[in-house]
Every structure is written in structure tokens, then in C-alpha cells.
Structure 1
Amino acid sequence: MMDPHSSAQDVIRCDLCETAVVQMHCDTCLVNLCKACVGEHISTDESKDHKVVKFKARKSTPLYPGCKFHDQEQCKMYCNQCDIPVCHKCIASDQHLGHKVSEILKVVDERKNKFMKEQSELNETIYPIYQDIASDVQNRMSKLEKEYGDLSTAITKHGEDLHREIDKLVKKLKAEVDEMKNTQLQTLQKHLDEINKNISDIKNEIDSMEIAKDTNDLSKLFSVTLKVHTYRNLPNKIIPSLPKFIPGKIHGDELGKMFGALSSSSLTSDKHGYSMKTTQKSPEAGSSPPVKQLLDEPETVTTIDTGYDTLYNMACLSDEEIWTSRNDSTVKLYSINQGSLLKSITTKSGKNPSSIAVTKGGDLVYTDYHDRTVNIVKNEKIEEVIRLQNWRPRGVCSTSSGDLLVIMESDDNKQTKLVRYSGFTEKQTIQFDDKGKPLYLSATYFSRFFTENRNQDICVSDERTKAIVVVNQAGKLRFRYTGHTPAPRNKPFDPRGITTDSQSHILIVDYNNDCVHIIDQDGQFLRYIECGLSDPWGLCTDTNDNLFVTQLGNSQVKKIKYLQ
């Protein structure tokens, strides 16, 4: 506490004379005054009703607002219906006839009380929370700096690894070139040695004949053997055939896809369920894809006969190869252009896979409903990546970020949920809508079809509810699609396989109507694809937006062009 005898204190002075200590205050003009200056202040503007009070009682006199409609009148009342201050002339006018009017000081007290409560809430609750949020954002920014640094380091390391692999490949090819060269040079050298020997023999023959021709010794003449006919048969001409180096052709951004890609970064708000995309884009999404229009008449490009009894699932490995599976333990890789079998994989459990997909790295991944696992196939070796307890996997999908989405059902078949995994770690569970109701019902079949759209929506084909259920990246329900009428065969919508394309279209098999529905990313119907489909089941698209459809009955895969 300050000692008034030894400390300097600020003293409030009169606003007029600026020397005397303030004693009074004009609440009308908000001016501090000493007693001697009160009269001078009032006389300077006699048009005002100066409310001069003791300084300690300053601001105790209410300053009523002037009326906008009646000069020199003060608004001492308040019209609740019009929500404005009014004077007594306003109240008497027809404009406020029948309106509820209150004393303005009562309204002021109510507002001040409200301000006090809200000020208290701001000071004691909201302001500290915002400080905590600011601190949390700062921490996230620091963490983000580190994680992006780690990401850059991982990309650099991956590039170095690829360089080493390329160096090994170059060394191997150059060794093969040297080996081919040495083999051909050895063959040619042997041929040259034989020719040089013949040259030497021919020269000896010529010399012998010369001697015999000039001798009169008949014995020597008849001892010379003529071999000219032997040399008339000239040796074969050996022409070396050089190998050609045929560089692998890389079209467009294929090198980027082979190297790897970044998913789009995003900022999401779990509270409101909206997603605010950043301007950072991955190489795949660095520029918007070219706009492609739907063909008036989709056309079948080719048909692949798999030789299966029944054909269920399918996943594109590339624009030229496609994985297929049926109701047994084998998953087969087919050449799209040749229609030939390239490879066959047998599941680890010996049971049929409930779903298959291809990762961003080009590895086959499948779910095994029977032993509760999700497995990945690398270099023809099967590796278990997820094992569930009390749940069984129905379907799997690889996302643009490299995560795995797995749709699963509880052992009692009463619950269905969709889980996002990053490696072995569970990151997100999607099961209920905002009202706590299940988004998905248990399936009748082993397979569950779903996919991630280009805008990162998750689209699930729910054959129990006969609907397509679409949620955003945060798991919030966007819409349900239940078909469009009239359908080609006028039968109820029966969704099975589902896929998306570069235009964010959603394509859905309608088993009952032997067709494929195309809807936009917001669920608006665009058109049907028929193309003579019979019992369609599974769907996928390649990077050129060609559509592949499996046909359950005849075990064929149809390749269909539907975009320009």
C-alpha cells in the first residue's frame, strides 16, 4: 500500500482551468469541473440541460437519447415491438398505436444485467477456452512442422532407394550387353581363324602348282593333288545381330504414379462436420481432371471369359490387368487385352475372400470373413495386416491417402461399422448418424461393396436397405440414393458393386435391372448403362475411366466405354 506522505499520486484536474482539483462533474457534457468553474461551464451553452453532480456521483444521471423524429425531445420510453427508444410524442402518434412500451431505464437495467452475465461468461469461461485453443493450435503447428519434415525425409529416402534399384538395373543390363558382345566376338574370331587358315592353305596350293608346272620331273608333277574344288565352296557369311535397347515408355504422369503420390491435405472440423480443403494438392490432384462428358450410347470394348463357374469380385491392378475372385480360395489376375490368365493366388486359410482391392502401391489386399483377417499380398507372399476380435470383415477399400477402409459386422450380425486403418492402427470408426441411428445394416452376402470418391466421400452399397449411403471424410451423412425410376426392367433398385471415376461420378450395379446407375457426387441421377449386361455384380474403373463389370451368371468381365 502506498504511503501518501512519501509517494506522488495522480490528481484529476478541472477540464476548464486545468489547475484546480476536480470536485464536480457535468453528466450532460461529461466534463470534470472545480466549483469555481461550474457557472462558466453552464453559461457557455445554455441550450443544454446541464446535470452537474459531485464528482463521486458522476455518470449517475441518465443521458436519454434524442428523438430522431421530434427535435429537442428526449426518448425516455422504449417501444418493445419496434425495438427502438421513443419520446412521449412518438407514443402519442399513430405509428406506435397499440404497441407495448416500457420505461427506457428498465430496459437499460435489463440490458446491463445481461451485459454483466455475458461479460462474466466471456471473462471466466470463453476467454480462457480461446487461450487454450490458441495454445493447442500453436502446438499443432509445431507438430505439423515436424511431421511435414518427416514426410519430406521419407520422400527423399524413397527416391534414394529407387535410385539404387535403378543403378542395379542399369548395371545388370550393361553386364548382359558385355556378355552378348563377348559371345559374338568369340564366334567371329573363330570364323576369322578358319578363313585365315584357308588363305594360308590356298597360298601353299598356288606355290605347289607353280613348282609342278615348271618341272620336268614327272613324279613331282603327279604327286601334286588338286584341291581347287574344295575352296570353291566359300564359307558362310556370319552377320551378327545386335540387341536393341527398348526404353520402357512412360506416358503422362505414370512416372509420378510409379514413384508414389501425396494425398490431398485437408483441415476438418469434427464439431460441425464440414471440411475446409487446403490449397495444397497431391500430384494426382494437382490440377482438376479434364471434364469428360457422358457418351450418348455407352459401348462394350471387350469381353473377358474367366472360366469361373460364378464370378463375384474384381479390382483393377492397372489399365491392362485385373484381379478377380469367386466363391473359392483362388484370386486370379487376368490380362485385359489378351484375356489370358497371368497369375493365381490361394488364400492363406483356404477359404474364399469376401472382398478384394488393390493398394496405391499395386499390392493385392483381401478380407477373409472366416478367419477375421485382412491380408496383403506382396511378391506373392501373403501378410496378415489386421486381425479382428468379435467382428468379421465384409469388405475392404484402399484410399487416396494410403489408408485401408474395412467394413465389418459383429459376430451376432446385429451391428455393422466402417473402420479406417493407417497401417495396423485404427484411426476412425463410422457407424451412426447424428441421431444415433445405424448408418448401415448387416449384409446378406459375404461381400460388402464400397469405395472412396475423388472428393473423399465414402460410398457404401447397402443391399439390405436397398440404398447407397454416402458420408463425408469426417463420417457425417451426406445423402442416401435409393434408385431412379423408371428403371430399365421396372424392378426395385437392388444395389451391388460400386465404384467412382475421375469426374467424381458414382456408378452402382443394379442387379435386378441388369444395369449400372450413374449419379453425381451429390446423389443426382444422370443416366443408366445397359450394354446387354446379364446378372451384373462387381464394378471397377481404370485410370482412363473405362468401366469393368463382372457378370455373375456367365462369369464374364465386360469392359465398357461410357465417357468421351
Structure 2
Amino acid sequence: MDPFRRAQIILLCDLCKTAHLQSHCERCDINICQTCVGEHLSDSSIRHNVVPYKYRKSLNYSKCPDHADELCKHYCKECDIPVCSTCVSSSKHEGHDISDILEKLSAKTESLQKDLDELDTRIYPRYEEMASDVQTEKAELETNYGELTTIADQQGEILHREITAIVNQRKSAIAEMKNKHLSTLNKNTEEITQKMTDLKQIMSDLKSILKSNDVSLTSTYKSRNSEFRTLPPKIQVTVPSFSAQKINIDQLNEMFGSLSPLSINTEHGDTMNSAEAVSSPPVKPLLDEPRVTATIDTGYRELHSVSCLSEDQVWTCGDNKTMELLNLQSELLTSIQTKSGKWPTDIAVTRDGDLVYTDPSIKTVNLIKNKQIQTVITLQGWVPLSVCCTASDDLLVTMVSDNRKQSKVVRYSGSTEKQSIQFDDQGRPLYSSGYIKYLSENKNLDICVADRLASAVVVVNQSGKLRFRYTGHPSNIEQSFNPYGITTDSQSHILTADFNNRLIHILDQDGQFLRYIHCDLKLPSGLCVDIRDNLFVAELIIAKVKKIQYL
């Protein structure tokens, strides 16, 4: 029955006290007649929510623990608790900032919904993805370890009875490593599964709170999202390789071949940005007319590379053994000589502000900390070329083989090789064998290489899978595309120096050409950007660095 037509109950407007109510303001929790609605909505300082009375939501106010007959319709910001009217007027809350509980309810409801959305659409799917990756790796265990066992069997058949004992030893080692590998993955799966179970429970609780519209539960809810933004550790296990040797009966045990150790590395789980941080950094549109804001004269005969230490200090290297730190006024702040006394090929600055350089003459990658040179990587059979520091503080190094027939990108954590990127899915080389091959890691963790000999920018994802090749833009430029230096910015733009055409190409993260930067550049070589996305361009022959604003 319509409440307005009940003979025994007459519901009147809370404002005029005379007319029958028609509506309900959920924000103010009052009943209003049709005449008073307009007057009520005229107060623009409050975000009212007026609905037909029969569609109103019933609010479950909590009872005051100190005054049993009263409901807590207010909120004390200092004490962070719901309070009733009597509490408000008491000396206990004198001078405190008191607000309507509905203000707190609205804010907390919005916060709960944001937490639920982040858990449901961002965090939980990442856990599902991690769990799927581990299951895939487990599914490949039989194949990978089966191949090792087959190799051991083939080698054993050649040596017949004399090596039976050795074959059994190797099989046992393989089985033990396999079990350890599987045990490690199972443990990782259990940890991820437990986290997923906890997340499901939290999401269920949040849904229940939101559905209940319970003021007490809503106002006292404490978010746990930050606890789950840091993903569980990611286990990386390298399947052992088998090195077979030629048969020598007198040295069977040594010549049979050995298994490399089972390598199990635990990476700290990635910490996902909060839902509020997803939209950052703010979008910065490209300027129609980029402009040079500073020019640094380095004094080199040839300037090869530049790397930002700050907005007004850059490291440089060129055609001698000295690396120099300069400010925007071309003043020399610090200089460091290479350990070998030969030219460095490239430089980069770590997250801690230390300088890294490659020395092809002695095949090393070196770290300069407190002006002391530490050799971090020493290569054999390969010559290091360019280097960059990643968001995870790894080093990415381009290198070419001693015979100049092969080229690859290798990721290092300290002195430990973590990843080698050399071929595509069809086994074809990703990179040319040329020496000039600068690289940069993009914000989406793609690895971008400017391969000058190939006349291409080659971009692979974090796993080393080819995403695309950019071979220039079909526009009116003087000569063919000739990429040299490369860098990326906060907008995930890829910027590469077109050496012969004396300009910079700006691409989006998917390799789509956006525009050029001209700025009267003279043979641009090395590139870098600072934390405010100012571009620094090294000009090879005139040995100057130009600071350019393009966003």
C-alpha cells in the first residue's frame, strides 16, 4: 500500500511540516514534499541526492556505545569515530571538528569502491597471470628435462658398458635438479594461490560492506590494498644445460660432460602503482616548435655520448680517455679517466647517480663510485658497445663478437648475466653486426636499440620477443634513415637521432612516427632525457650538447 494513503499514518515533509512528503534526500537524510524540493536543492554547497521516497535507501546507523537511545549521525574527525548528538555537545569532543556522518560515509564508500575496482581489474588479474606463467613453466619441465635425459642416453650408448655408472650419476643429478625445480615452482604457486585466496576474501568482504550500507563497517574499514600491491617474489629458474665431450676411455668421467648447476633466482615482486597513480605521469603534449634552451661546449674533437646526472649537469665522453661532468654553463665539474687509458664507447648514469662506462679495448663494463673505478663485467669473445641502466637497476649492454659476425643485447644484475637477446622466433638475428648500436629501456620495459648498420630501430619486449622495427618515415628528408643515439621519456616516447639527416625522430611506444625535432642540429649522436623530459643531444663533430624542450 502507498504510504501516503494509509489512514492511520500521515507522513509529512520534514521542512514545512504540513505537506505530504514526496521525496527523500539521501545526502541529508530528510523527507521532502514536492514544494520544498526546489528550496532544498538551492543550497549548492552540498551535493544533494534527492530520490522518490519509495526508492530511498535505508541507512543503518550504529547505536552510540555511550548513549544507548541515540544513533551516531555525526562524525568526529579528531577522534576518527562516529558520534551521536549528545556526544557532540559533551566536553569529550569540545573543540573537535564535527561533520555529518553522511559526508564520511560518502567518502569512505567511494574509497571502498576504488579499492574493489583496483583489486578486481588490476591486482587480481596480475596474480592470475603470474599463476598461469608458473603453470606453463611446470608444463614445460618434462620437455626440457627430457631433452637433457635424451642427450645423456645418446652419449651413454656411444660409450656402452664402460660409462653406465656415469650415465646413472648424470640422470640422478638431472632428476634431483628437476625435483628441486618443481619443488621451487610448487612453493611459488602455493604462495601466489594463498595471496589470491586472501584477495578473493577481501573483495568479498568489500562487496558485502558496500551492499550492506552499514555506516559502522564502512567508516571503520581499513584498506589493505597497499599490502597486495607488492606482488609475491617471482622465481626464475634456469634449466641446466648439458655439455657433451668427445669420448676418451681413459678420462670417461671428465670427458662425458657435465651439467651446469640448477640456477634459482628469486626476484622481488614488482610493486604495482596504486589505482590513483595509474594516470601519472601527467600527459605532456608535444610542442609544435621545439626550442633549444641551453648549449654546452664540451671541448672534445668528437663527442659521442651524453648522460644526465641532473637537470643542469651532464656526463660526456668522446674521442679521448677522459669522461667529463659539465654544467649548462660549459663549466667542468669533474673528470674521470678510463682505467685502460683508451676511449670509452658509451656512458650511463645509475639510479644512485654513479657513472657506468664500456671499454672495448679491454672488453669491460665499469662502474665509477666515489671516483673509484670498479670493473663490473669482463667479457670473453665479445666486445661491449653501448650500455643503459634499467628501472630495476640492471645493466643492458649491446655487444658484438670478436669476429664481428654476431651481435646481441645482454642484461646483467651486477656481474651476473640474466638474459641474452640475439634471435627472433624464427632463429634469425635481431641485430646487425655493426659497432654503432645504442639502446634504451622504455617505461613499458621494452628494449629499444638504434641499429645504425641495419638502418632500423629494433624494439623487443621485456622477454626479448620482437615487437617491431622502425625503418624511418616516408617524408621529405635528404638521405635514408640513419639511427644513432636513442632515448625514451616519461610518456613512453622513443626518440632517436637520425645522424645523416640531422634531426630527431619521435615515435610512440608502438613505433608510430609522431614528428621530427630539427633545431639546427649538426650530426646528432648520443641522446638522453632528464627527469623533466628535457632532451640533451650530443653533436658529434662540433662537440656541443644542446638542451631541447620538446614537450
Normalised to the residue count of structure 1, the TM-score between the two structures is: 0.52
1:122-271 equivalences in 2 (<5 Å): 137-141=185-189
1:90-129 equivalences in 2 (<5 Å): none
Partner secondary structure for residue 553 of structure 1: coil
Q: Residue 141 of structure 1: CA displacement?
A: 4.8
**In the alignment, is the contact (CA less than 8 A) between 1:265 and 1:280 conserved in 2?**
no
Structure 1: how far apart are the matches of 2:183 and 2:139?
A: 14
1:394 correspondence with 2:385: yes
Partner secondary structure for residue 375 of structure 2: strand
Deviations 1:83-141 (A, max 9, x none): xxxxxxxxxxxxxxxxxxxxxxxxxxxxxxxxxxxxxxxxxx98998xx9996643125
Q: Residue 512 of structure 1: CA displacement?
A: 1.2
Match of 2:340 among 325, 349, 362: 349
What root-mean-square deviation, in Å, do the aligned CA atoms of Structure 1 and Structure 2 show?
3.4
Partner secondary structure for residue 533 of structure 1: coil
Deviations 1:315-369 (A, max 9, x none): 1111121000001100000012x32110100000000001100111110000000
Partner secondary structure for residue 188 of structure 2: helix
Partner secondary structure for residue 459 of structure 1: strand
- Partner of residue 463, structure 2: 474
In 2 relative to 1, CA 266–283 (structure 1 residues): closer, same or farther, beyond 3 Å?
farther
Structure 2: how far apart are the matches of 1:369 and 1:263?
A: 39
What letter is aligned with 2:532?
Answer: N
Deviations 1:251-298 (A, max 9, x none): xxxxxxxxxxx999997999xxxxxx9772399977521000000111
- Partner of residue 411, structure 1: 402
1:373 correspondence with 2:373: no
Structure 1: how far apart are the matches of 2:487 and 2:521?
A: 17
**In the alignment, is the contact (CA less than 8 A) between 2:300 and 2:319 conserved in 1?**
no
- Partner of residue 304, structure 1: 296
Structure 2: how far apart are the matches of 1:396 and 1:284?
A: 33
**In the alignment, is the contact (CA less than 8 A) between 2:536 and 2:545 conserved in 1?**
yes
- Partner of residue 554, structure 1: 542
Partner secondary structure for residue 394 of structure 1: strand
1:540 correspondence with 2:528: yes
Partner secondary structure for residue 396 of structure 2: strand
Q: Residue 535 of structure 1: CA displacement?
A: 1.1
Deviations 1:147-182 (A, max 9, x none): xxxxxxxxxxxxxxxxxxxxxxxxxxxxxxxxxxxx
Q: Residue 389 of structure 1: CA displacement?
A: 0.7
Moved over 4 A (4+): 125-129, 132-137, 141-145, 262-270, 282-287
Match of 2:443 among 454, 467, 471: 454
In 2 relative to 1, CA 282–549 (structure 1 residues): closer, same or farther, beyond 3 Å?
farther
- Partner of residue 429, structure 1: 420
**In the alignment, is the contact (CA less than 8 A) between 1:329 and 1:352 conserved in 2?**
yes
Segments of 5+ residues of structure 2 without an aligned counterpart are 1-137, 143-178, 194-228, 238-268
1:68-107 equivalences in 2 (<5 Å): none
**In the alignment, is the contact (CA less than 8 A) between 1:329 and 1:347 conserved in 2?**
yes
In 2 relative to 1, CA 461–317 (structure 1 residues): closer, same or farther, beyond 3 Å?
same
What letter is aligned with 2:300?
Answer: Y
1:321 correspondence with 2:313: yes
**In the alignment, is the contact (CA less than 8 A) between 1:495 and 1:509 conserved in 2?**
yes
1:518 correspondence with 2:502: no
In 2 relative to 1, CA 481–134 (structure 1 residues): closer, same or farther, beyond 3 Å?
same
Match of 2:473 among 472, 476, 484: 484
**In the alignment, is the contact (CA less than 8 A) between 2:311 and 2:531 conserved in 1?**
yes
In 2 relative to 1, CA 135–439 (structure 1 residues): closer, same or farther, beyond 3 Å?
same
Partner secondary structure for residue 365 of structure 2: strand
**In the alignment, is the contact (CA less than 8 A) between 2:191 and 2:232 conserved in 1?**
no
What letter is aligned with 2:470?
Answer: Y
Partner secondary structure for residue 187 of structure 2: helix
1:362 correspondence with 2:353: yes
Segments of 5+ residues of structure 1 without an aligned counterpart are 1-124, 146-261, 271-276
Structure 2: how far apart are the matches of 1:409 and 1:128?
A: 32
1:20-31 equivalences in 2 (<5 Å): none
Deviations 1:528-556 (A, max 9, x none): 00011111111100000000101112111
Structure 2: how far apart are the matches of 1:498 and 1:264?
A: 31
- Partner of residue 70, structure 2: none
Partner secondary structure for residue 186 of structure 2: helix
In 2 relative to 1, CA 291–389 (structure 1 residues): closer, same or farther, beyond 3 Å?
same
Partner secondary structure for residue 295 of structure 1: coil
Deviations 1:427-448 (A, max 9, x none): 11100000000001111x4x43
Structure 2: how far apart are the matches of 1:264 and 1:127?
A: 24
**In the alignment, is the contact (CA less than 8 A) between 2:302 and 2:542 conserved in 1?**
yes
Structure 2: how far apart are the matches of 1:499 and 1:511?
A: 14
Q: Residue 485 of structure 1: CA displacement?
A: 2.0
**In the alignment, is the contact (CA less than 8 A) between 2:482 and 2:500 conserved in 1?**
yes
In 2 relative to 1, CA 386–528 (structure 1 residues): closer, same or farther, beyond 3 Å?
same
Deviations 1:190-234 (A, max 9, x none): xxxxxxxxxxxxxxxxxxxxxxxxxxxxxxxxxxxxxxxxxxxxx
Structure 2: how far apart are the matches of 1:480 and 1:266?
A: 33
Q: Residue 304 of structure 1: CA displacement?
A: 0.9
**In the alignment, is the contact (CA less than 8 A) between 1:356 and 1:366 conserved in 2?**
yes
What letter is aligned with 2:280?
Answer: S
Q: Residue 409 of structure 1: CA displacement?
A: 1.0
Partner secondary structure for residue 138 of structure 1: helix
**In the alignment, is the contact (CA less than 8 A) between 1:263 and 1:400 conserved in 2?**
no
Structure 2: how far apart are the matches of 1:417 and 1:380?
A: 30
In 2 relative to 1, CA 322–284 (structure 1 residues): closer, same or farther, beyond 3 Å?
farther
- The worse-fitting range, judged by mean Cα deviation, of 133-142 and 278-287 is 278-287
**In the alignment, is the contact (CA less than 8 A) between 2:349 and 2:355 conserved in 1?**
yes
Structure 2: how far apart are the matches of 1:429 and 1:449?
A: 16
Aligned-pair identity (%)? 54
Structure 2: how far apart are the matches of 1:332 and 1:307?
A: 10
Structure 2: how far apart are the matches of 1:537 and 1:454?
A: 22
- Partner of residue 285, structure 2: 293
Partner secondary structure for residue 425 of structure 2: coil
Normalised to the residue count of structure 2, the TM-score between the two structures is: 0.53
State which structure, 1 or 2, has the greater radius of gyration over its C-alpha atoms.
Answer: 1
